[in-house]
């Protein structure tokens, strides 16, 4: 992949076996993470005066979506007086300003201290301090600021208005947040941005779902929403603590302080933020037999608990886990369950639990871009996407940087270790040769096969093509790597456009039987050869070029 100036990638070794497919829950060798630096302090702040640079990033950042990171940055712009704001940065290293703390709010006045940013769908949301509103803006930094909820908003079911807000969660057009009324009572509320309506998720009138005598809920912690499923921590008037979860059929409370931990460390006793996906919820808790936090997971579909990391779990590199600095992030993608969590005490680090295998992402003492890491933080519970994550690294020289972390082994149910590159992508106007790679899996049944080209001409039209055999013949400014005999060369329509990094991706629908008109079926056991054709007028010559080739063996 071609990275912009100032962006670096740390490659950690992983040797694949020669088999064509690898079944989930097993790894040929211990997988590792690739770490890509997106930006660091010393980067120019977009929209600020020339020479105004970032000086630090928030302790809980960045939020992650489609390889774009959303973060809270500090700086000092003497011209405008701004010293903080919320931004996004993409894989090309392009930083976009969402809001400065000196910008005017929709209701007048300035935002002041902006924090707790979140990227979801096509917008970014954040809170301000004092905690009197939650705002949003388009993720591309255009358009007006909008108010999700503020102290003029009516509490559903009452004639009162909210007086205060704290943590919130967001998933596309659904927002869930902690809100306080004039009597000092907190509750958890939702807002549907499409219908502009508020609802009560749980408040002090809600009957407790925890075991014991009849009770009502009395306190609430940080909430999360994903795909219409909800989670937050809470307590009731009996003194029972736990999680409130809604997997689509109403609030339940199977994770609570009357339940024993699966590791024999006593009952769960204290709960912090939780992360929900599918029928599972990952959570950080203390137990009655241990004053340190641990990480566990509950599966609603089976009613079972799993220990993700506690003092009984061996830590990669030696020793056992013995303390945690942050809450976990959970994702279920392509049949693989991943939990990202942060540790403290003996070893400060970021780790990934992937279907029972624990993998180090980064730890204190690692060398990144020639600097020694002495601090790590990441966003939770939204700091994950499949097995991917992002984090802030602090270094011994006092600097900071934001990194994207991607598992060396692609996240998939069946991993195509038989995929291999061949032929050559000729140099183009970007100064590189275009290269193909694949994501998802080569499983026809799973149907999540994706093709990605990198290093092609930037912002140019192109198309993936494929055939059942190979070739190596001059073609345009490059080579035709896929053959024309035995069925011809087939196109994966429609035309794509590469981005500013020269990258384009396509999900190939294998269920259609014939992804391209007139092509042979891509089925289990078949082998196909792929290439990317793209226009490159800036390079002159024929005005078009091609990538290298990619051979893929497809599995059941």
pLDDT of residue 17: 26
Do 210 and 192 form a contact (C-beta atoms < 8 A)? no
Find the angle CA(89)-CA(62)-CA(366) to the nearest 5 degrees: 100
Which CATH number covers residue 502?
A: 2.60.40
pLDDT of residue 9: 28
pLDDT of residue 513: 54
Do 208 and 240 form a contact (C-beta atoms < 8 A)? yes
Q: Which residues pair with 68 in a beta bridge?
A: 65
Residue 368 in any domain: the answer is no
**Which residue from 410, 291, 334, 332 is spatially nearest to 31, judged by alpha carbons?**
410
Q: Which residue has the tokens 């392009």?
A: 94
Residue 211 in any domain: the answer is no
Domain that holds residue 513: 414-553
- Give 17-39 pLDDT, tens digit per residue: 222 333 333 344 457 899 999 99
**Residue 61: pLDDT above 80?**
no
What phi and psi values does residue 505 have, to the nearest 5 degrees?
Answer: -135, 145
What is the overall mean pLDDT for the chain?
Answer: 86
**Residue 217: pLDDT above 70?**
yes
**Residue 87: pLDDT above 70?**
yes
What is the distance of C-alpha 294 from the center of its chain? Answer: 22
Helix (H, G, I), strand (E, B) or coil at 511: helix
- Give 194-210 pLDDT, tens digit per residue: 999 999 999 999 999 99
Do 145 and 105 form a contact (C-beta atoms < 8 A)? yes
Range of weakest confidence among 256-270, 283-297, 501-515, 527-541: 501-515
DSSP string, 207-244: BP-SSSS--BEEEE---EEETTEEEEEEEETTS-EEEE
540 CB contacts (<8 Å, ≥6 apart)? Answer: none
Q: Which residue has the tokens 């779902």?
A: 209
Query: CA torsion angle for 398, 399, 402, 406 (degrees, to 10)?
Result: -70
Half-sphere exposure of 76 (CA within 13 A, CB side): 1
pLDDT of residue 515: 56
pLDDT of residue 59: 66
Distance separating alpha carbons of residues 497 and 120, to the nearest angstrom: 24
**Residue 96: pLDDT above 50?**
yes
Residue 145 in any domain: the answer is no
The larger pLDDT score, comparing residue 337 to residue 419, is at 337
DSSP string, 6-61: T--EE-------SSSEEETT--SS---EEEEEEEETTPBPTTSPTT-B--EE-SS-
Neighbours of 155 (CB within 10 A): 21
pLDDT band for position 307 (cuts 50, 70, 90): very high
**Which residue from 74, 99, 75 is spatially nearest to 87, judged by alpha carbons?**
99
Residue 334 in any domain: the answer is no
pLDDT of residue 170: 93
Report residue 202 as tokens. Answer: 């749980």
Q: Give mean pLDDT, residues 167-185.
A: 92
pLDDT of residue 411: 37
- Give 274-297 pLDDT, tens digit per residue: 999 999 999 999 988 777 889 999
pLDDT band for position 417 (cuts 50, 70, 90): very low
Phi-psi region for residue 387, left (φ > 0), alpha (ψ -120 to 50) or beta? alpha
Do 346 and 323 form a contact (C-beta atoms < 8 A)? yes
**Residue 363: pLDDT above 50?**
yes
Do 205 and 215 form a contact (C-beta atoms < 8 A)? no
pLDDT band for position 416 (cuts 50, 70, 90): very low
Distance separating alpha carbons of residues 241 and 257, to the nearest angstrom: 5
Q: Give mean pLDDT, residues 449-459.
A: 92
72 CB contacts (<8 Å, ≥6 apart)? Answer: 57, 58, 61, 84, 85, 86, 87, 114, 115, 117, 126
pLDDT band for position 412 (cuts 50, 70, 90): very low
pLDDT of residue 433: 93
What phi and psi values does residue 10 have, to the nearest 5 degrees?
Answer: -100, 115
What phi and psi values does residue 254 have, to the nearest 5 degrees?
Answer: -70, -20
pLDDT of residue 520: 59
Do 223 and 233 form a contact (C-beta atoms < 8 A)? no
Helix (H, G, I), strand (E, B) or coil at 539: helix
**Residue 85: pLDDT above 60?**
yes
Range of weakest confidence among 156-165, 405-414, 546-555: 405-414
**Residue 169: pLDDT above 90?**
yes
pLDDT band for position 522 (cuts 50, 70, 90): confident
Q: Give mean pLDDT, residues 249-256.
A: 95
Q: What are the Cα distances from residue 428, in Å, to 64, 382, 441, 506, 544?
A: 31, 38, 29, 21, 9
Residue 539 in any domain: the answer is yes
Where is mean pLDDT largest: 6-15, 102-111, 321-330?
102-111
Q: What are the Cα distances from residue 32, in Å, to 17, 275, 359, 506?
A: 15, 23, 7, 25
Residue 474 in any domain: the answer is yes
Distance separating alpha carbons of residues 454 and 159, to the nearest angstrom: 56
pLDDT band for position 224 (cuts 50, 70, 90): very high
**% of residues, the chain, pLDDT over 90:** 60
**% of residues, the chain, pLDDT over 70:** 90
Residue 189 in any domain: the answer is no
pLDDT of residue 21: 32
Per DSSP (E only), the strands in 221-320 are: 224-226, 229-236, 241-246, 251-252, 268-277, 280-287, 290-299, 304-309
pTM (two decimals): 0.73
Residue 61 in any domain: the answer is no
The DSSP code for 184 is: S
**Which residue from 428, 506, 490, 491 is spatially nearest to 460, judged by alpha carbons?**
428
Distance separating alpha carbons of residues 73 and 86, to the nearest angstrom: 6
Quote the number of domains for the chain: 1
Range of weakest confidence among 10-14, 263-267, 359-363, 404-408: 10-14
Buried b vs exposed e over 211-225: b needs ≥16 C-beta within 10 Å?
eeeebebbebbbbbb
Distance separating alpha carbons of residues 268 and 144, to the nearest angstrom: 45
What phi and psi values does residue 512 have, to the nearest 5 degrees?
Answer: -70, -10
């Amino acid at each position: 992949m071609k990275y912009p100036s100032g962006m670096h990638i740390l490659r950690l070794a992983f040797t694949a076996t020669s088999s064509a497919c690898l079944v989930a829950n097993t790894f040929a060798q211990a997988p590792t993470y690739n770490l890509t630096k997106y930006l660091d302090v010393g980067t120019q702040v977009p929209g600020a005066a020339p020479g105004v640079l970032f000086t630090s990033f928030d302790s809980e950042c960045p939020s992650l979506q489609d390889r774009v990171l959303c973060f809270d940055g500090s700086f000092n712009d003497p011209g405008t007086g701004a010293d903080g704001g919320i931004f996004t940065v993409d894989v090309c290293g392009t930083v976009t300003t969402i809001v400065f703390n000196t910008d005017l709010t929709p209701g007048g006045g300035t935002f002041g201290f902006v924090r707790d940013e979140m990227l979801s769908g096509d917008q970014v949301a954040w809170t301000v301090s004092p905690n009197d509103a939650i705002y949003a803006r388009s993720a591309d930094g255009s358009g007006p600021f909008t108010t999700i909820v503020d102290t003029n908003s009516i509490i559903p079911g009452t004639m009162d208005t909210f007086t205060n807000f704290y943590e919130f969660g967001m998933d596309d057009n659904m927002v869930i947040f902690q809100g306080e009324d004039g009597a000092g009572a907190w509750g958890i509320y939702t807002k549907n941005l499409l219908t502009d309506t508020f609802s009560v998720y749980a408040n002090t009138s809600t009957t407790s779902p925890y075991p014991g005598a009849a009770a009502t809920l009395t306190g609430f912690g940080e909430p999360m929403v994903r795909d219409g499923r909800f989670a937050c921590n809470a307590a009731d008037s009996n003194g029972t603590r736990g999680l409130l979860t809604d997997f689509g059929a109403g609030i339940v409370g199977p994770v609570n302080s009357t339940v024993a931990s699966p590791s024999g460390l006593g009952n769960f006793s204290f709960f912090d933020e939780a992360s929900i996906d599918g029928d599972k919820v990952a959570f950080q808790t203390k137990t009655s037999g241990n004053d340190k936090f641990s990480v566990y997971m509950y599966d609603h579909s089976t009613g079972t608990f799993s220990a993700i990391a506690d003092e009984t779990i061996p830590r990669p590199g030696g020793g056992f886990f013995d303390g945690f600095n942050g809450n976990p992030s959970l994702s279920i993608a392509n049949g693989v369950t991943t939990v990202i969590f942060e540790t403290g005490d003996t070893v400060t680090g970021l780790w990934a639990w992937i279907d029972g295998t624990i993998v180090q992402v980064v730890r204190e003492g690692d060398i990144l871009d020639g600097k020694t890491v002495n601090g790590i933080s990441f966003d939770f519970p939204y700091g994950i996407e499949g097995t991917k994550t992002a984090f802030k690294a602090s270094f011994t020289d006092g600097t900071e940087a934001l990194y994207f972390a991607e598992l060396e082994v692609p996240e998939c149910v069946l991993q195509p270790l038989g995929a291999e590159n061949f032929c050559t992508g000729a140099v183009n106007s970007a100064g590189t040769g275009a290269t193909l790679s694949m994501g998802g899996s080569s499983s026809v049944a799973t149907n999540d096969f994706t093709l990605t080209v990198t290093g092609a001409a930037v912002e140019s039209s192109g198309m993936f093509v494929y055939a059942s055999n190979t070739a190596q013949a001059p073609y345009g400014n490059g080579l035709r790597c896929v053959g024309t005999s035995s069925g011809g060369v087939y196109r994966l329509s429609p035309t794509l456009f590469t981005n500013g990094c020269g990258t384009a991706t396509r999900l190939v629908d294998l269920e259609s039987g014939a992804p391209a008109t007139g092509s042979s079926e891509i089925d289990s056991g078949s082998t196909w050869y792929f290439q990317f054709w793209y226009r490159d007028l800036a390079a002159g010559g024929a005005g078009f070029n091609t990538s290298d080739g990619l051979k893929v063996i497809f599995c059941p």
